[in-house]
Amino acid sequence: MTSVNSEKLSSARFAQATDAFVEVFTASVDFDQRMAPQDIQGSIAHATMLCACGILTEAERDAIINGLTQIGAEIADGTFVWSIKQEDVHMNIEARLTDMIGVAGKKLHTGRSRNDQVATDIRLYLRSEIVQITAQLTRLQTAILDLAEQHAGTIMPGFTHLQVAQPITFGHHLMAWFEMLRRDRERLDDCVKRINIMPLGAAALAGTSYPIDRFMTAELLGFSRPSANSLDSVSDRDFAIEFAAVASLIMMHLSRFSEELILWSSAFVDFIDMPDAFCTGSSIMPQKKNPDVPELVRGKSGRVTGHLVALLMLMKSQPLAYNKDNQEDKEPLFDTADTLVNCLRAYADMVPHITAKKANMYNAAKRGFATATDLADYLVRKGMAFRDAHEVVGLAVRLGLESQRDLSELTLAELQGFSALVSEDVFAYLTLEGSVAARQHIGGTAPETVKAAIQAARQLLDNLGMGME
């Protein structure tokens, strides 16, 4: 063919060279080169299978594997030359392989297409990212458990509507965060089941006429099985959307976590001290210590959810099978994984250094009539209907507000003025300690219950860790 289009993919069909801007516009190599290790891993497995099925000779297979291994080293040490002309990571590697080993390199693409190749690469990439993410998630969960253990008996106000509601323990509050992350971990594990299915062999869309062994390639690559429909395999990115959804949920949880840390470290709440190493000062206000890490994480949660929506919209209405639209899946996906692993890492590093200001937490619980429900429950136990008890306690709270005293600071005579059912034993229920200690059913805030929950959680992490080995 003419020299003008000699470098173009599938060049024989084209009479014109690609427009210079279109070449740049359609190329993905700038970002998909990141999947080079997975691309090489997939190609080595593919060549191994082709040889086992008699489609490549052993000499060709060995030349391909050696060449790809060397290319992997060139990419790792930065000497590999990436070219926009070769459009994407797949063509760049294949072209270099052919440069290195000659005609055997041109045989690597037998029985496959970039369509099943790229779908395989993304799945391998996500699988390895999820290993990193899970490791950071586990570090964070462990840090939360350690902090919760220190504070199983530390009393603080629990809130509804951000108003003081009932006393709880800080350990119990921390364990709520643990539970959110526990479900996130389950979701990650579950989405791996659908990621870990192998598209290779679907070829462009219809499969291949070569006598390939897809089970062998799947096994070589650690996939649970080959995909069941070639059209579906090369087109759908639902597994990526699912991952982005799980990532969005984790980031949503971290944003809630962040919001509370930011609030609690502000001077007017002052429940915790954030470690200096995770905060910055202000360029103008010398007194400032800003909780940058939680603020950034809170901000980044929006960007990850944005990627989820981008991926959903990318897939929406796409006809079967592969469309070039799908090249747009990579940047949001890469950024989702990077953002998630970085946010989890920052949190796992930071949480062990958070210090609780116990006296401030305690006083805040006291100031907020947090044991009002306990007084109502006390009256109910003595025979009053709950609605009536609610009314009586409302009056007691009003007296407390007017005289600036907590319920436990009212006198017995004053309390008896509201109801004759009150006797001396009431004070055991009106203290913050009595209130939390009484909630000892499973899921409750009593220090002993929190300790048991921490114990069970440690066991869970140990079991999950053993499952990963």
Residues marked active site are found at 161, 282
Choose between 237 and 300: whose C-beta lies nearer to ligand ARG.
Answer: 237
Q: Quick check: 236 binds ligand ARG (CB under 6 A)?
A: no
Choose between 248 and 326: whose C-beta lies nearer to ligand ARG.
Answer: 326
CB of 32 to ligand ARG, least distance (A): 6
> Interface residues for ligand ARG in 306-345 (CB under 6 A)?
322, 324, 326-327
In the numeric block, the tokens 């060049």 are attached to 11
Choose between 257 and 322: whose C-beta lies nearer to ligand ARG.
Answer: 322
CB of 36 to ligand ARG, least distance (A): 13
Query: Looking at 36, 64, 104, 118, which residue binds ligand ARG (CB under 6 A)?
Result: 118
Q: By CB under 6 A, how many residues form the interface with ligand ARG?
A: 10
Type of residue numbered 31 = F
Please write down the long-range contacts of 76-84, taking CB distance under 8 Å and 24 or more positions apart. 82/29, 82/30, 82/33, 83/29, 84/23, 84/24, 84/27, 84/29, 84/30
CB of 242 to ligand ARG, least distance (A): 19
Backbone angles phi and psi of 56, in degrees to 5: -120, 150
β-strand pairing of 197-198 with 225-226: parallel
Choose between 316 and 387: whose C-beta lies nearer to ligand ARG.
Answer: 316
Choose between 174 and 244: whose C-beta lies nearer to ligand ARG.
Answer: 244
Tokens of 243: 């991952």
CB of 251 to ligand ARG, least distance (A): 25
Q: Quick check: 120 binds ligand ARG (CB under 6 A)?
A: no
The answer to whether residues 133 and 187 touch, using CB atoms and an 8 Å cutoff, is no
Binding mask 135-154 for ligand ARG (x = CB under 6 A): --------------------
Give alpha helix (H) positions in 316-371. 330-350, 358-367
Type of residue numbered 442 = I
Binding mask 203-232 for ligand ARG (x = CB under 6 A): ------------------------------
Query: Looking at 88, 129, 184, 335, which residue binds ligand ARG (CB under 6 A)?
Result: 88
Distances in Å between the Cα of 208 and the Cα atoms of 202, 232, 320 are 7, 15, 17
Q: Quick check: 115 binds ligand ARG (CB under 6 A)?
A: yes
Task: Please state whether 142 falls in left (phi above 0), alpha (psi between -120 and 50) or beta.
Answer: alpha
The answer to whether residues 256 and 174 touch, using CB atoms and an 8 Å cutoff, is no
Residues in contact with 139: Cβ distance below 8 Å, sequence separation at least 6, in sequence order:
344, 345, 348
Choose between 205 and 312: whose C-beta lies nearer to ligand ARG.
Answer: 205
Distances in Å between the Cα of 34 and the Cα atoms of 116, 236, 257, 331 are 18, 21, 31, 10
Query: Looking at 46, 96, 107, 114, which residue binds ligand ARG (CB under 6 A)?
Result: 114
CB of 148 to ligand ARG, least distance (A): 44
Binding mask 24-53 for ligand ARG (x = CB under 6 A): ----x---x---------------------
CA dist., res. 308 & res. 185, Å (int) = 18
CB of 217 to ligand ARG, least distance (A): 18
Distances in Å between the Cα of 400 and the Cα atoms of 20, 269, 396, 450 are 78, 22, 6, 31
From 113-121, 149-157, 245-253, 401-409, span contacting ligand ARG (CB under 6 A): 113-121
- Contact residues for ligand ARG (CB under 6 A)? 28, 32, 88, 114-115, 118, 322, 324, 326-327
